[in-house]
């Protein structure tokens, strides 16, 4: 039976079901780290929040509770009937150096105590490692994965994780991923050692690390991101194809009296009130929390932090289901400069994301457009490319009429502007609607997605005009020698429409000189205010 079934997709992200011997897990999912040495938050309260899955450290269990865990099994020992993932102790290697357990010992221990998901004892790569150190961690982790392949195959009731190493050296990550795929028996791949990268808010570098691994790994295999514990980065990693996350951040932050939000972290004593409605924040003010004894305060902050984490996971899954993950990331990217850098880095990997992004969802939802970034999503770019190819085939010898697409006057084929033009459009013309920043579309296709199924602001920036003008000119260059006449429709007293016509007129004349083609260019003017009213006309401003 397949342990991983993908149910829905958006961008490179997916909603899937991971089947373990102790139950099914819907992904994306977050695994709270349980530290048995000092558990500030009882497991039953973590489960009550909606976490049916946790992760704990197999190395500490091996050192301190070995006999009891083997006798009872991990689920009875923890008194937790959900899914339990165990890490091997690699984080301790990263922090403190070598530990006193071998790879085979810790893998066999995880198998015998009944871990639902287990991890081999890999060698992590710190973000400041030299290339030689990173290469050593790649080679030794792969050697260790091969070393216990027989145990992994025998203990098939546990899902085994093979960590991918390489740190910030993306070529080494790709090498690690390629070699890992050759080793049989592993169900899940893990992207190792991102903790120090995230601690330094190097989210753009994290994007590069994830893409490097995911571009090589099989697309039907689940991927875990170790140590990813802040809600800021979860939707970005999920959009790139990460399925599960883990971290102790919720309680580590709480011990330091740090309060998570979806856009950053605050110290409780710096807040006058909480920007949250969870049970903790609804009952206590920051002042109330600071007056409690420390253990109580830590517990309540940890509870809040887990609320924020599971809320982010749910919002990410909803965005995937609705096909709005790109829009969600665009909004999230405005919350912190490091997230904007991460989003800009993601945009560079269009070809990677486009490989996985679905062409359409079952329910067509309006596209939300906030600016140029909104139309750089794969689904829109794919339609732009197909439309350009179609236009190049059909515009030979045509008369063109270029009409501004007013966002509140849709569909364009039935708009007031087109109706007002009916008696003025030359017979046999091809009418093309120009819709900044979305692009251009022939009038006959203007009711297809997304040309009438979008919502956008009415004010248009100059760079958005330039983007759509460049897009149109790239297409026209292929047919300009066969175009007989071009009519530009100008909405007088509409700021961005007038600027659009000016730029189109200039660029078309330059192109005609370049290809030595004399084309008659006409300007057809319609008063904007008489068509839409003064208030609507005023809203169509140019920034």
Enumerate the active-site residues: 87
Strand partners, 53: 83
Tell me how many degrees the CA angle 136-140-141 measures, rounded to the nearest 5.
Answer: 115
Q: What number of CA atoms fall less than 13 Å from residue 15's CA on the CB side?
A: 16
Nearest Cα to Cα of residue 233 among 277, 265, 185: 265
Q: What number of CA atoms fall less than 13 Å from residue 133's CA on the CB side?
A: 11
Q: Which two tokens stand for residue 304?
A: 């809040």
Gyration radius (Cα) of the chain, Å: 28
Quick one: angle between helices 131-147 and 170-180, nearest 10?
10
Place of tokens 């759509």: 468
Give the distance from CA 317 to its chain's centroid. Answer: 11
Q: Which two tokens stand for residue 107?
A: 């893998």
Give the distance from CA 16 to its chain's centroid. Answer: 16
Nearest Cα to Cα of residue 295 among 42, 489, 16: 42
Cα torsion 526, 531, 534, 538: sign = negative
Q: What are phi and psi of 4, to 5 degrees?
A: -140, 115
Place of tokens 């909803």: 318
Q: Where are the beta strands (DSSP E) in 132-229?
A: 159-164, 188-191, 223-225
3-state helix, strand, coil in the chain (%, to 5): 50, 20, 35
Place of tokens 């006959």: 444
On whether the CB atoms of residues 343 and 236 are closer than 8 A, the answer is yes
Query: What single DSSP character describes residue 65?
Result: S
Backbone φ/ψ region at 11: left (φ over 0), alpha (ψ -120 to 50), beta = left
Q: Output the CA–CA distances (angstroms, integers) from residue 387 to 358, 380, 430, 507, in the order listed.
A: 18, 10, 14, 21
Contacts of 180 (CB under 8 A, 6+ apart): 142, 145, 162, 164, 186, 189, 217
């Amino acid at each position: 039976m397949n342990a991983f079934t993908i149910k829905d997709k958006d961008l490179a992200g997916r909603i899937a079901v991971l089947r373990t011997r102790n139950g099914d897990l819907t992904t994306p999912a977050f695994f709270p780290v349980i530290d048995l040495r000092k558990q500030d938050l009882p497991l039953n309260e973590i489960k009550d929040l909606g976490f049916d899955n946790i992760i704990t450290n197999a190395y500490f269990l091996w050192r301190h509770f070995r006999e009891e865990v083997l006798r009872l099994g991990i689920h009875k020992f923890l008194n937790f009937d959900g899914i339990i993932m165990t890490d091997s102790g690699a984080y301790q290697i990263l922090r403190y150096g070598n530990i006193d357990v071998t790879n085979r010992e810790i893998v066999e221990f995880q198998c015998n105590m009944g871990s639902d998901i287990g991890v081999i004892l890999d060698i992590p790569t710190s973000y400041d490692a030299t290339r030689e150190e990173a290469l050593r961690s790649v080679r030794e982790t792969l050697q260790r994965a091969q070393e216990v392949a027989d145990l992994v195959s025998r203990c098939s009731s546990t899902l085994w994780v093979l960590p991918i190493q390489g740190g910030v050296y993306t070529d080494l990550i790709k090498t690690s991923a390629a070699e890992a795929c050759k080793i049989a028996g592993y169900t899940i791949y893990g992207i190792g050692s991102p903790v120090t990268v995230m601690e330094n808010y190097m989210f753009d570098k994290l994007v590069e690390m994830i893409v490097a691994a995911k571009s090589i790994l099989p697309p039907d295999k689940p991927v875990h991101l170790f140590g990813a514990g802040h809600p800021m980065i979860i939707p970005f990693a999920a959009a790139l194809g990460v399925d599960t996350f883990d971290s102790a951040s919720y309680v580590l932050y709480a011990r330091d009296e740090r309060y998570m939000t979806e856009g950053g972290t605050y110290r409780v004593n710096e807040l006058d009130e909480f920007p949250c409605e969870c049970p903790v924040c609804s009952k206590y003010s920051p002042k109330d929390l600071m007056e409690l004894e420390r253990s109580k305060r830590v517990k309540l902050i940890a509870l809040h932090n887990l609320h924020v984490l599971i809320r982010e996971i749910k919002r990410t899954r909803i965005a995937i289901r609705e096909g709005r993950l790109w829009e969600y990331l665009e909004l999230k990217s405005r919350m912190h400069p490091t997230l904007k850098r991460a989003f800009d880095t993601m945009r560079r990997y269009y070809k990677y994301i486009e490989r996985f992004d679905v062409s359409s969802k079952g329910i067509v939802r309006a596209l939300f457009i906030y600016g140029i970034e909104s139309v750089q999503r794969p689904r829109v770019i794919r339609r732009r490319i197909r439309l350009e190819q179609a236009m190049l085939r059909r515009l030979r010898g045509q008369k063109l009429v270029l009409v501004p697409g007013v966002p509140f006057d849709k569909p364009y084929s039935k708009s007031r502007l087109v109706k007002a033009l009916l008696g003025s459009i030359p017979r046999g013309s091809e009418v093309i609607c120009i819709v900044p920043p979305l692009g251009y579309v022939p009038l006959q296709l203007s009711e297809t997605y997304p040309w009438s199924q979008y919502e956008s602001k009415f004010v248009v920036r100059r760079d958005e005009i330039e983007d759509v003008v460049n897009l149109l000119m790239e297409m026209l260059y292929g047919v300009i020698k066969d175009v007989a006449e071009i009519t530009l429709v100008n909405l007088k007293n509409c700021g961005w429409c007038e600027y659009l016509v000016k730029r189109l007129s200039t660029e078309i004349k330059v192109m005609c000189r370049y290809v030595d083609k004399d084309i008659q260019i006409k300007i057809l003017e319609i008063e904007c205010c008489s068509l839409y009213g003064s208030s609507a006309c005023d809203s169509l401003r140019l920034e």
